[in-house]
Amino acid sequence: MSKIFLFPLNSRRTNRSSGSIDKQNPILANYYSYPPAFDTDRQNLPLSFDRPQTSHSLMNSHYDRNIKEKIDMCDETPENWSCFYGPLNDIFETKPKVVFLKNKEGYLFNEMEKFFLKAWKDLSKESDANITVREITRIENPQIFSNYTTERKNLLKRSTKEKIKLRETAVDLMVPSTLRQYLRLEINEKYLFHGTSRNKALIITNKGFDNRVASSGWFGKGIYHAHSPKFSHHYTGSENPRYMFLSRVLLGVAYDSTSHAGKSFTTPPCKTCKNTSCENVDHKKTFDSIIGNGSEYVVYNGLQCYPEYLFSYDYN
C-alpha cells in the first residue's frame, strides 16, 4: 500500500472542490460566467491601445487557473478511496484493491443499495422484482484510474476550446450525491450501469474495460452502459449472484442515434458527415460516444470508462 503525501491531507481536502452539479459550484459558476464582466474601475480607465490587451490576458489567466486547477485534481485518486490516496504518480502499487462496503463503509452501502433498488423500480416497469443486494465493492485500481484520468484531462483541456453539449441521463439525479460530487459534469462524466458475468467482472476489475475484446451490438463493437439497472441485468447471465458495475463513463461530445450502426463499427461517427465509416481525410474529428435510443451509452475506447463499484445481487 502506498500512501505518500506531498502536502497535508487536510489542505488537500479543503482545496478540493466538487464536480457537481450546477452553477452554484464556484468553479462551474466561473466557468459559465467567463468572460467576467468588467468592473467599474476598469471601465473608467483611460482608453489606450495596450489596456484591452492587458485586461484580456488577465481574464485568460484567471480562466486558465480554473481549468488548471480542475486538471490538477485529476492527477489524484478520488477523495473517498480508502486504500490508495494522494497523487496517482506517487502510487507504485499496481495490484487493485477492493473495499467491501457492507462492513467497511456501511453508510455508503445503505445509500447505494437504496439507489440501486430505486433506479431499478423507477426506470423499469418491474416494481415487484425480488432483488437482494449481497455486497457492493469499490474497486481501487490506480493503474486503470490513471489511464482513465488521462482521458478525463484531455477532455477538460478540449472543453476550453470546444463547446460540449451537456447531456442528462435518467439516472443522473438518483446517483447518491456522495458519489455525484466527484463527477466532472461539464465533460459529461456519468455514473452508469454495466451488467456482466462473474468471470468478466473479475477481468474488468483487474484490467479495466477493453474495447478490443468488446462484443458487437446494435451500435457496433463498443463498450455499452445503461442508465437502467434492469436493462443491464439482461447481460448478467442466469445464475445468482449477478454482477453489475456502476462505472464512471466519459461521454464527452455524444451523438444521438437510433439507427443500426453496423456490427463491425469500432469508432464513434464522424463529426462532419455523421458517417460511421468516414474515409474523408479532411474530416478529422469524431464524436466521443453514442447515446443509443436515449438509454444506451456506447464508447469505443476502454479508457473512457472506469469500473468503480461492483454490485453482486440475487434476482428471483
CA-CA distance, 240 to 4, in Å (whole number)?
40
Query: Binding mask 223-252 vs Zn ion (x if CB under 5 A, - otherwise)?
Result: ------------------------------
Kindly state whether residue 267 participates in binding Zn ion, applying the rule CB under 5 A.
no
Kindly state whether residue 283 participates in binding Zn ion, applying the rule CB under 5 A.
yes
Kindly state whether residue 278 participates in binding Zn ion, applying the rule CB under 5 A.
yes
316 DSSP 8-state letter:
-
CA-CA distance, 256 to 276, in Å (whole number)?
13
CB 245 within 8 A of CB 235: no
Residues 6 or more apart in contact with residue 111 via CB below 8 angstroms: 176, 178
Q: Which is nearer to Zn ion, 222 or 268 (CB)?
A: 268
Kindly state whether residue 28 participates in binding Zn ion, applying the rule CB under 5 A.
no
Kindly state whether residue 272 participates in binding Zn ion, applying the rule CB under 5 A.
yes
Among the listed residues 20, 50, 23, 46, the one whose alpha carbon sits nearest the alpha carbon of residue 34: 23
Q: Which is nearer to Zn ion, 215 or 277 (CB)?
A: 277
Kindly state whether residue 12 participates in binding Zn ion, applying the rule CB under 5 A.
no
Shortest distance in whole angstroms from residue 280 CB to Zn ion: 5
Among the listed residues 185, 171, 301, 167, the one whose alpha carbon sits nearest the alpha carbon of residue 246: 171
Q: Which is nearer to Zn ion, 47 or 281 (CB)?
A: 281
Q: Which three cell numbers stand for residue 1?
A: 500500500
CB 14 within 8 A of CB 20: no
Shortest distance in whole angstroms from residue 261 CB to Zn ion: 14
Kindly state whether residue 157 participates in binding Zn ion, applying the rule CB under 5 A.
no
Q: Is residue 291 exposed (0-12), middle (13-18) or buried (19+ Cβ within 10 Å)? A: buried
Shortest distance in whole angstroms from residue 269 CB to Zn ion: 8
Kindly state whether residue 45 participates in binding Zn ion, applying the rule CB under 5 A.
no
214 DSSP 8-state letter:
P
In this chain, which of 82, 280, 293, 295 binds Zn ion, going by CB under 5 A? 280
Alpha-carbon Rg for the chain in angstroms: 21
> Judged by CB under 5 A, which stretch of 166-174, 197-205, 231-239, 268-276 contacts Zn ion?
268-276
Kindly state whether residue 273 participates in binding Zn ion, applying the rule CB under 5 A.
yes
Shortest distance in whole angstroms from residue 272 CB to Zn ion: 4
Q: Which residues bind Zn ion (CB under 5 A)?
A: 270, 272-273, 278, 280, 283
